[in-house]
Amino acid sequence: MELGARPHELAHDFLFVKTYDSLKLLGSALQSLELHCGGRLAVMEVSAAMIEESGGSMNDTEGFVDYPASVDTIELCAFFRELGPEEIRVSLRSRSSYDVAAVAGRYGGGGHRKAAGLTMRASLADAKSIMIADLSELLEQGAERCPGEVSGG
């Protein structure tokens, strides 16, 4: 600050100023949002095609996991990023007592109870199916049954 830095402006630019391409990518990602398990599980994705079509980059996806995690009914969420053919990065979040690090650990990933990640060697569709099944099973541990998908994108 002594040299002329303006913290308020820097923070604003860092947190709130996005490129047009980044916002197009976010829009595509939000269109992929699906709710499962009676609205308790959210999944969202960014495919390689979405990145190419939007003109955005994988760096633009930083923080995207916060959108499905912000749905009012959500207890668990998964955000999938297609890094390449058969290479999917999965970010997991828990807004409840469920331990997503345990799920990530099954696939060589890690983190902590509320936030974890892993990389899967699978297609995007297969990675989503596997994670939806695993997270649904986790939710079932606290409920009699986990109903099917309630809405999708």
Between residues 93 and 151, the one the model is more confident about? 93
Residue pair 9/15 in contact by the 8 Å Cβ criterion: no
N-terminal to C-terminal alpha carbon distance within the chain? 46
Find the CATH number of the domain harbouring 135. 3.10.310.30
* Exposure class string for 121-141: b at 16+ Cβ within 10 A, else e: ebebeebbebbbebbbebbee
Domain, as residue range, for 124: 18-140
Residue 42 lies in a domain: yes
78 in a structural domain: yes
Count how many Cα atoms sit within 13 Å of the Cα of residue 64 in the half-sphere of its side chain: 30
Q: Which is nearest to 32 in space by CA: 6, 63, 67, 8?
A: 67
Whether 63 is in a domain gets the answer: yes
152 is a domain residue: no
Q: Residue 69 domain-assigned?
A: yes
pLDDT tens digits, 51-64: 999 999 999 999 99
- The Cα 78–Cα 91 span in angstroms is 6
Q: pTM, whole model, 2 decimals?
A: 0.85
Given this model, what pLDDT does residue 149 score?
43
- Residues whose CB is less than 8 angstroms from the CB of residue 142 and which lie 6 or more positions away in sequence, other chains included: 97, 98
pLDDT class of 146 with cuts at 50, 70, 90: low
The count of structural domains within the chain is: 1
pLDDT of 107-143, one tens digit each?
999 999 999 999 999 999 999 999 999 999 999 987 5
